[in-house]
Amino acid sequence: MLRKLLILSLCISVLFVFSALIPPVNAGSKNVNWQAAGSIANYVQVLDTNTYQVVPNYLISLSAKGPPGNAEITLMGVGEFVGPDPACNGENRINITQNEMVARFSDLSLLFAIHASTPDSYLCSTAVGTTFNIHMMVTGGTGRFEGVTGNINGSGFGYPLNPDPDSYGPDGPLSAETANITGTIDLP
């Protein structure tokens, strides 16, 4: 009996050691379906190290919940004023020409995404706020997102905090935002 228990214990130990050496299988796709809210700093000045000119950027800080996990998201980018546009129901359009994102998860894994040139990413600016449609390519990450690819799309509304829209335009230096971020992450 003792011999059988010893053999059984040894077999379980060997299986445990081998299972620890085999990495978990994560291959496949995961859906992204975040509900997000946060703040936007609208007039961040960044030095372009190629031209040594100051370029206005925006900086967005969001909390997101939903698949593939709750995250804190930081985005930074550049928009180019276009003017009144039929796609914005005649309101002012701003094309997003650069956009970068880092999502940080509770296990400290990171997910990276950058601006996708197609389809167009833009926001429509009105006197009561902004609506936006953003498209990004997932370019990798760390931890459980190492080597991932994919595409994500964001849409939502920006709420101006400034009660006097004539002082800065429809969005003052700080705005609030709610968004839906959807897409697919392809795991290696």
Q: Per residue in 105-156, pLDDT tens?
A: 999 999 999 999 888 899 998 878 889 999 999 999 999 999 999 999 999 9
Which segments of the chain have a pLDDT < 50?
Answer: 2, 4-25
pLDDT at res. 75? 96
Q: Which residue range forms the structural domain that includes residue 127? A: 26-187
In a domain, 96, yes or no: yes
In a domain, 72, yes or no: yes
Q: Identify the CATH number of the domain in which residue 108 sits.
A: 2.40.160
In a domain, 178, yes or no: yes
Q: Give pairs for 119-123: CB < 8 Å, separation 24+.
A: 120/95, 121/95, 121/96, 122/82, 122/87, 122/88, 122/93, 122/94, 122/95, 122/96, 123/79, 123/93, 123/94, 123/96, 123/158
Tokens 């760390």 sit at which residue? 142
In a domain, 52, yes or no: yes
pTM of the model: 0.79
In a domain, 21, yes or no: no
Domains in the chain, number: 1
Cα–Cα distance between 46 and 27 in angstroms, integer?
38
Whether the bond into 56 is cis, omega within 30 of 0: no
In a domain, 97, yes or no: yes
Candidates 137, 113, 132; CA nearest to 121 is 132
SS3 call for 169: coil
In a domain, 63, yes or no: yes
Encode burial over 156-183: b for 16+ CB neighbours within 10 A, e otherwise: bebbbebeeeeeeebbbeebebebebbb
Those residues whose C-beta lies under 8 Å from the C-beta of residue 3, and which sit 6 or more positions away, are none
In a domain, 20, yes or no: no
